[in-house]
Amino acid sequence: MTLTCACPNAAGSGRLAPEPGSNQSSNDLNANRQARLRIGVLALQGAFARHVASLNRCGVEAFEVRDAAQLADCDALVLPGGESTTMSMLLDRSDLRAPLAARLSDGLPVFGTCAGMILLAETIADGRPDQMPLRAIDIDVRRNGYGRQLDSFEADIDVAGLDDGPFRAVFIRAPVVTRVGPDVNILAEVEGDAVMCSSGNVVVASFHPELTDDDRLHRLFLQSLLG
């Protein structure tokens, strides 16, 4: 099973299309198209700088998103780990919730990690009454499902579609997926619990891939944008 995101700009505007008459190989074309991707990272709170660094190492232009104009310039978006209640509140204070919801509805590819997974879920079992999920993927989650900070752990996980062996996943106050909808793909599990899922253009993980030097999950997400 592989990720199936498709970048709207790549398919629609032609911004990422190959140059007419190009004799480049398929790998070269994909490398050139990937280099022209503009990937936003929501930068209201949390580990956004680490995601930007990971994406830059992958050879794409990654930038911090704090307002609607920056959001409009994204080919895809990363929602980082952090404090989900604070991030939810800051989405409202920055007037980003409505434009983000609109772009998600239009098919913006998005990769949410830890708190990002919580924000993108259908329901949050133990969220604050004023914490409104974006409902971009049909899963239910429970915040801090694996325990508090002292219960943080690492695990080697097998990710569907990921080459070169298991991925070392870092779980810090990670959410637990309590329900997976029928149209959601489970990409990785820990002890029978889904920890990475995808549906359409949405990919979520309950761990922090940006806290390692292994950029394979970021590369996998980028490759999915090229179709």
Q: Is 74 considered catalytic here? A: no
Model confidence at 75, in pLDDT bands (50, 70, 90)?
A: very high
Return the higher-pLDDT residue of 208 and 18: 208
- Which of the two residues, 214 and 13, has the higher pLDDT score? 214
Relative to beta strand 76-79, strand 110-113 is: parallel
d(CA 113, CA 118): 8
Note whether 196 and 203 are within 8 A (CB). Answer: yes
pLDDT (mean) for 3-30 = 51
Say whether 5 is catalytic. Answer: no
3-class SS at 23?
coil
Sequence ranges of the domains in the chain: 27-225
Catalytic position from the list 7, 51, 74, 210: 210
- Catalytic (active site) residue 19: no
135 vs 25, residue with greater confidence: 135
**CATH no. for 27-225:** 3.40.50.880
pTM of the full structure:
0.86
Residue 13 has pLDDT above 50, yes or no: no
